[in-house]
Amino acid sequence: MRCNVCEVRCEINKHSTGRCGTYVSDGNTILQYSGMGYLGAYPVSIEAVPLLHYYPSGKFLQVFSTGCNFQCPGCVARMPASSRPSTQQSSLSPSEIIKRALQQECLGVVSTINDPVANYYLFRDLAVQAQEKSLLVGCATNCYFTTSTLEEFGHFVDFVNVGIKGYSDRSYKNCGVSFSAPVFRNISRLFDMGVHVETSVVYSKGSDDDVIKVAEKVSEISSKIPLHVMRFLPSGYAPIELEPSVGDAEKICPALRRYLDFVYLFNSPGTELLNTYCPECGSLLIEREFHRPIGSRLVKPLVSRTCICGSRIPFQGKAASESFSEVGLMDSYSTSQAFSMVHAVLTCLGVLDDYKLMDIWGEDKLMDVWNKVSDPKTLTQIHNMIRQPYSYLEFIEFIAKKADMSEKGEELVSFINERLKIVQNLSAGKSSYNVYYCMGSPLFALNAGRMENNLVTFSGGVSINKQLQKEGKLGVSVSPSFINDHDPGVIFISGFLSRPLDEFYALCHKYGIHARAVTQQQVYEIPPSWDFGSPRWILGLLYIADKLHPGKLGVDLRKEADDFYLEFYGMRFKEARSNRSFHRPSSGIWPHTQTLYHYAEMEMPKQGSTKNFGSEINQPFNMLPAYKLKFKG
């Protein structure tokens, strides 16, 4: 039998469950896999989905399950989306979801992480029950439904965020399907049916023309439909070269505004393009800040929908008087990240083959980890474990025991423990540096309690981030005066979401940041996942300690990296290929050879230049060229 849920139209019989892996046939009809339910349900602000023009700051119960009909390279939700349902999984039924939504006083329910295409009948059941209780219903979806399914779908959803892979058929073939046309057809039909529609598009390096065509095509439906530009963060097998810088992503947004009134930029800490500006006069109407990848939050509640010029901004639904802000790992995206952190440990234990990983994950003991990771109490426990160096060792032991790999786990713990003692002895003599840790932008500070700031403290540095009282999901926006007043001597840029140093110094100049770290060129990019999310943080700790105690660490950083990569990834450090995955071995340009830039007058390479300052990567440290800097103060 052919499945009619989506345009892939899989053949499903007693030997096949289709691409989603969640449907079965009884010989006469296609059914949802027996016992399938939702793996998590967490209250979030609607901006975290993200939806920006729908019930601003409204509290919704975010749910997710398993399976997906697409196979996108670089998927940030690869683990839950590519997994298959199992009788070993504990899950929540639609009625249990509705009960939670009512108990937690949510406005509605929203399905994210994996696509509701993969659990359509489950989602339909949830939607029907939600409507009976006057709850709103929505989802984030690739919207690859067939026309007949979409007609039904459009009658039981109130809002959607449609993730568009691109305008061309090629962009969809990269995700394992044939055409882009069904998505634009379905967006148009949902809009005509009165469903609140917002759209998202992935922007990777070199995809400018394709993204502009997406905006042009959406504008043919309505110029009022918001477009969320998702700066591509390569994970899985996607190469780091596909990641545009925050600055590159910011440059494309004005071109998109020629077609659409409301264009927003995500995955870009510190950007001002999460704000809503009046399409008529350009006035700032709503200010938002980065909350997490694919999420944002309002800086202050929405009080007016009308600009001073008289233009009315198309928001639907009542705005909440204050924003709901989830804590720790308590939301669907962070749960996916928790799975990624488990994956990162398993990789270091020797599970390097993805198929083997999925086989192990399906066994009873690691399925127990899956179930526990979805549990709020375990999420809180994991959140606390991964914030401090020594407690992270408990996290490794927990995962290793569940995977029956305790011996290999002890090897990893022992390796980390030996280096911790080296840094601990060094930090007994406190560093004289005030240290600032940011993510992507100089004005986006990492939360005080995060692992990165604890690595600074462990190394003997004085983290000025610890002075921050306000908390966000990953961090919070700060003023230039906060940085200047504390005058950090060293600034680290997070290895999770970073920004090239030329852009970073240019922003410091723009914002008037003249702290010692900036004027003396002591700003350092941490390599991907060397400070959070992966056991590689031990290398990040050594790197941080070396910068805070110049010449005193007493270890060869390159040898340490090689030893770690050989022992736990089976490859040399320089052979590894980087991206944003926690589990994937990464290297790229060694931090000591990063290009340095002028602060006030930056001599940028001419267009078309092929000069690469990272070409000296294989030279000994003492033979690396010294790039002199001029400072105009």
Q: What average pLDDT does range 433-441 have in this prediction?
A: 94
Residue 406, pLDDT above cutoff 60: yes
**Comparing C-alpha atoms, which of 194, 126, 197 is closest to residue 160?**
197
Could you read off the pLDDT of 53-63 as tens digits, one per residue? Answer: 999 999 999 99
Three-class DSSP category at 234: coil
Could you read off the pLDDT of 275-302 as tens digits, one per residue? Answer: 999 999 999 999 998 888 888 888 888 8
Instruction: List Cβ neighbours of 136 (8 Å cut-off, separation of 6 or more).
Output: 55, 60, 107, 108, 109, 130, 158, 159
Residue range 431-623 in CATH 3.30.565.10: no
CA distance 197 to 162: 7
Q: With cut-offs at 50, 70 and 90, classify the pLDDT of residue 482.
A: very high
Q: Tokens representing 592?
A: 């000591």
- Give the pLDDT confidence score for residue 376 in this predicted structure: 62
Class of domain 23-298: alpha beta
- Give the pLDDT confidence score for residue 607 in this predicted structure: 33
Angle between helices 376-385 and 389-402 (to 10 degrees): 130
* Domain layout of the chain by residue ranges: 23-298, 332-425, 431-623
Q: What average pLDDT does range 74-92 have in this prediction?
A: 62
Residue 216, pLDDT above cutoff 70: yes
Could you read off the pLDDT of 228-273 as tens digits, one per residue? Answer: 999 998 887 788 889 999 999 999 999 999 999 999 999 999 899 9
Residue 356, pLDDT above cutoff 90: no
Instruction: List Cβ neighbours of 480 (8 Å cut-off, separation of 6 or more).
Output: 442, 443, 511, 512, 513
- Contact (Cβ atoms closer than 8 angstroms) between residue 459 and residue 482: no
Q: What average pLDDT does range 134-149 have in this prediction?
A: 97
Residue 485, pLDDT above cutoff 60: yes
Could you read off the pLDDT of 180-194 as tens digits, one per residue? Answer: 999 999 999 999 999
Mean pLDDT: which of 493-507, 535-549, 585-599 is highest?
A: 535-549
- Give the pLDDT confidence score for residue 146 in this predicted structure: 97
Q: What average pLDDT does range 597-617 have in this prediction?
A: 33
pTM, rounded to two decimals: 0.85
Which DSSP letter does residue 526 get? P
**Comparing C-alpha atoms, which of 276, 17, 460, 602 is closest to residue 8?**
17
Which residues face 231 on adjacent strands?
203
Q: With cut-offs at 50, 70 and 90, classify the pLDDT of residue 373.
A: low
Residue 370, pLDDT above cutoff 90: no
| Cα dihedral sign, 258-246-327-585 | positive
CA distances from 485 to 221, 445, 447, 478, 515 (A): 50, 15, 18, 12, 8
SS (HEC) of 456-522? HHHCCCEEHHHHCCCCCCCEEECCHHHHHHHCCCEEEECCCCCCCHHHHHHHHHHHCCCCHHHHCCC
Say if residue 389 is preceded by a cis peptide, omega within 30 of 0: no
Residue 358, pLDDT above cutoff 80: no
Residue 630, pLDDT above cutoff 50: no
- Give the pLDDT confidence score for residue 338 in this predicted structure: 74
Instruction: List Cβ neighbours of 366 (8 Å cut-off, separation of 6 or more).
Output: 360, 402, 403
- Give the pLDDT confidence score for residue 292 in this predicted structure: 81
Residue 125, pLDDT above cutoff 70: yes
CA distance 446 to 422: 26
Give the residue, 365 or 68, on which the prediction is more confident: 68
Ranges of H-type helices in 10-93: 78-82
The mean of the pLDDT values for the chain is 84
Could you read off the pLDDT of 465-476 as tens digits, one per residue? Answer: 999 988 777 888
**Comparing C-alpha atoms, which of 240, 285, 277, 274 is closest to residue 472?**
274
